[in-house]
Structure 1
Amino acid sequence: MHSSGTLHSVLCLGRTYCDLVFTGLAGLPVLGRELFAKDVAVVPGGGAFITAAHLIGLGRDTSLVTRLGTDPLSAGLEGALAESGVDLTFVERAADAGPQLTVAIVQPQDRAFLSRRAGHGHPATVEAALSSPGVRHLHIAEYATLIEIPGIVASAKAKGLTVSLDPSWDDALIHDPGFLENCRGVDLFLPNTEEASVIARATNHEQILDLLIRHFPIVVLKKGSEGATLATGEGERLSRSAPHVPVVDTTGAGDAFNAGFIHGWLAGKGFSASLAAAIEAGSLSVQAAGGATVLRKIAAE
């Protein structure tokens, strides 16, 4: 693991995918017809890895806690994973963990995904990762992972770690009536507006935040090109807009945003500075294909 002085390290927990990212499309595919893309990127994906890669780009030691297949598609990711600088000590390699892939079809302001999960999402390395020296924070990249590893939040808290969660959209789980109860103990909740609206069963942003902060000490609502709004259980509200930038691919922008906020928050920079760092990280991410692409390294202040 890289040394970063007094910076505490982060664990990013979740599934890792082989992302096939198609860009430069004239439209969306139609059944019975063939559509050609101008470009394609084959890159490691999944919220855990993308957030970890951006945290490394920000200068913070970060370990990926995941399962990776031994099939050709999964094996093909090994080089890019190593080159990212993310610590791979807690990557479990198992035959049943692949092939696990996502096809991303990218449009100018949005994208669609087709994914396949493989095997279970509970790495055998979790306990060792939580006990790793210097670890301060656990980021759970999707609600599905939290469900697949019952007690993970309590285990992390027992080790003295803070915990963040990006719910990530999952048609089978986003409507779970026990969603908020299952998230008990999470310190930082990082949904986008669509996810938050379904979870809170409301459409007005203020109403959504009013409900969510009853369950989480800090909620950061990601609003895409409109920026983000932060709310705390102590009544603080803060909004920031996002800059206008050329958009190549929005895949993983929310995960890059997570990295920016987590990095600033753990460094004690305060909510305003952390929110600004999150928006900057997300804005950089959309300017290149592939969610884990880091356009430039932002030195920690």
Structure 2
Amino acid sequence: MMTDTDKRSAVLSIGRIYCDLIFTGLSELPVLGRELFADDMQIAAGGGAFISAAHLVHAGRKTALVARLGTDVLSGDARRQIAKSGVDLRFVEHAAEAGPQVTVAAVIGKERAFLTRRAGAAIPSTLNDAFSWPEAKHLHIAEYATLHEIPDLVQRAKSKGLSVSLDPSWDAALIYDKGLLQACAGVDLFLPNLEEAEAITGSSDPETALRVLSSTFPHVALKGGAQGAWTISDGNMLHVAADSVPVVDTTGAGDAFNGGFIDAWLDEGSPLACLTAGIRSGSLAVQSPGGFDMSLVPT
């Protein structure tokens, strides 16, 4: 007989949904007063919440987005792509003032620059329904900005018996907030990249930053892009190198890593298994424009 515990295996992924306009084949960044032409452009559903969710689904984990989405043309296109990925949309609120949310990404080799517009508030009217979903086991918060807008988000998830992960995500207005770590109290799994970890801890050394963060969070994974990723368990540091793959666009690679790592972590995988799963998902993301390659979806 299946118990209530057996039913709880799904992930809720909360955060803003964007329509990503990804320009590739650039030789330089735009300069004021000059027009620059890209070799190619892709329009893709984006935002950490969706990208992590899509890679969780690709790993075989039922995952639902908890988000707001506009009613404009760009938001509608993003919704169609999200639906195609297999991510559950039952907790997505549709509202005109929630869109369009757009990120323009200029990609030069392995580097990129972003220009983003947010729209409306982050908190969806569906949040209580999401927390009452009997299949939900875990909440992934795709950016600290969402927690900043919904300060009791972690506590509400914990009161429902959910574990919680958080990717701080780069936001220059928030990443240097001295109260960030305190605001993240209760988070089980913290998932920064090297730049974010340095901003939070003041150290550019991965091992030092990881040890500082592990004094606050039970589990930490530190993403280093081409350098691979690190985690710490029982005081022991573990590093796994990045896979050698052709890189088209690194947009969303960290969010893809989150999806793979969280899936293995929820299955109580070893630190090595979790890092390996995260890197595998991140490697898939960098081989095509955008954070999730729709060709991965079974036809």
Q: Same fold (TM over 0.5)?
A: yes
Shift of 1:236: 2.7
What secondary structure does 2:254 align onto?
A: helix
Aligned twin of 2:62:
61
Shift of 1:78: 2.4
Q: Does structure 2 conserve the Cα–Cα contact (< 8 Å) formed by 1:7 and 1:267?
A: no
Following superposition of structure 1 onto structure 2, how do residues 255-294 of structure 1 map, counting pairs within 5 Å? Answer: 255-293=255-293
Q: Does structure 1 conserve the Cα–Cα contact (< 8 Å) formed by 2:21 and 2:105?
A: yes
Question: Which structure has the highest helix share of the two?
Answer: 2
What secondary structure does 1:114 align onto?
A: strand
Following superposition of structure 1 onto structure 2, how do residues 132-147 of structure 1 map, counting pairs within 5 Å? Answer: 132-147=133-148
User: What does the per-residue CA deviation read over 1:259-291, in whole Å, with 9 as the maximum and x for residues that have no partner?
Assistant: 010011111222111110111110111000011
Shift of 1:7: 7.5
From the superposition, tell whether residues 289 and 43 of structure 1 become closer, same or farther in structure 2 (CA, over 3 Å): same
In structure 2, distance between residues paired with 1:109 and 1:237: 27
Following superposition of structure 1 onto structure 2, how do residues 148-163 of structure 1 map, counting pairs within 5 Å? Answer: 148-163=149-164
Q: Mark the runs of 5 or more structure 1 residues left unpaired by the alignment.
A: none
2:244 counterpart letter in structure 1: H
Shift of 1:56: 0.9
The RMSD of aligned alpha carbons is 1.5
Q: Does structure 2 conserve the Cα–Cα contact (< 8 Å) formed by 1:57 and 1:294?
A: no
In structure 1, distance between residues paired with 2:224 and 2:100: 32
Q: Does structure 1 conserve the Cα–Cα contact (< 8 Å) formed by 2:49 and 2:142?
A: yes
TM-score, reference length from structure 2: 0.95
What secondary structure does 1:18 align onto?
A: strand
1:192 counterpart letter in structure 2: N
What secondary structure does 1:102 align onto?
A: strand
Shift of 1:138: 0.4
Q: Does structure 1 conserve the Cα–Cα contact (< 8 Å) formed by 2:72 and 2:100?
A: yes
From the superposition, tell whether residues 244 and 295 of structure 1 become closer, same or farther in structure 2 (CA, over 3 Å): farther
From the superposition, tell whether residues 288 and 296 of structure 1 become closer, same or farther in structure 2 (CA, over 3 Å): same
1:122 counterpart letter in structure 2: I
In structure 1, distance between residues paired with 2:40 and 2:159: 46
Q: Mark the runs of 5 or more structure 2 residues left unpaired by the alignment.
A: 1-5
In structure 2, distance between residues paired with 1:38 and 1:9: 40
In structure 2, distance between residues paired with 1:297 and 1:66: 22
Following superposition of structure 1 onto structure 2, how do residues 173-184 of structure 1 map, counting pairs within 5 Å? Answer: 173-184=174-185
Identity fraction in percent = 57
Q: Does structure 1 conserve the Cα–Cα contact (< 8 Å) formed by 2:8 and 2:134?
A: no
Shift of 1:129: 0.5
Following superposition of structure 1 onto structure 2, how do residues 179-194 of structure 1 map, counting pairs within 5 Å? Answer: 179-194=180-195
Q: Does structure 1 conserve the Cα–Cα contact (< 8 Å) formed by 2:175 and 2:200?
A: yes
Q: Does structure 1 conserve the Cα–Cα contact (< 8 Å) formed by 2:10 and 2:62?
A: yes
TM-score, reference length from structure 1: 0.94
